[in-house]
Amino acid sequence: MIMNDLKKKEEEIIDVEPVETKAIKTTKKPFLPTRAMLKSIELKLDLRRYTKEEICKFCGIRRMTLYRWERNPDYLDLYMKRSWEVLRAYTPEVNKALQRAINKGDVQAMKMFYQLTENIREAMEITFSFGGKRND
């Protein structure tokens, strides 16, 4: 019984906003995702497209817990970071496909290439302008 209560507490996030007072300064606790949270994110990103019910079953959580996590900004940040990691894994394949299309004379692919290189150039300018000392 006690183990079940501990497991529930480990797997649930308590949505309590810190209260600012003059006497006591509160700081936000660091976000420590549980195994169930990490597993739910992986299942959401899986290409098999699991339903929320299936995700809850595989993670051993209730549906309300998943909904609460999905409203938590820290959980959403973690989901977005992991999503970008998964997408970045496809970059080499996408680049090769773009190169093949350009070599075949695909005008849309050529336009996309120039749009991408322009975005990269702009991002680098922003990084150099605001990221520290600028070497002019």
Question: Mean pLDDT across the stretch 72-96?
Answer: 92
Domain hosting 98: range is 91-129
Q: What is the pLDDT of residue 28?
A: 74
Quick one: how many helices (H) and strands (E) in the chain?
7, 0
Neighbours of 74 (CB within 10 A): 16
In a domain, 26, yes or no: no
**pLDDT above 50 (res 19):** no
In a domain, 67, yes or no: yes
Q: CA 79: distance to chain centroid?
A: 3
Q: Which residue has the tokens 């169930």?
A: 36
**pLDDT above 70 (res 72):** yes
Q: What is the pLDDT of residue 14?
A: 42
Q: Domains in the chain: how many in total?
A: 2
In a domain, 28, yes or no: no
**pLDDT above 80 (res 136):** no
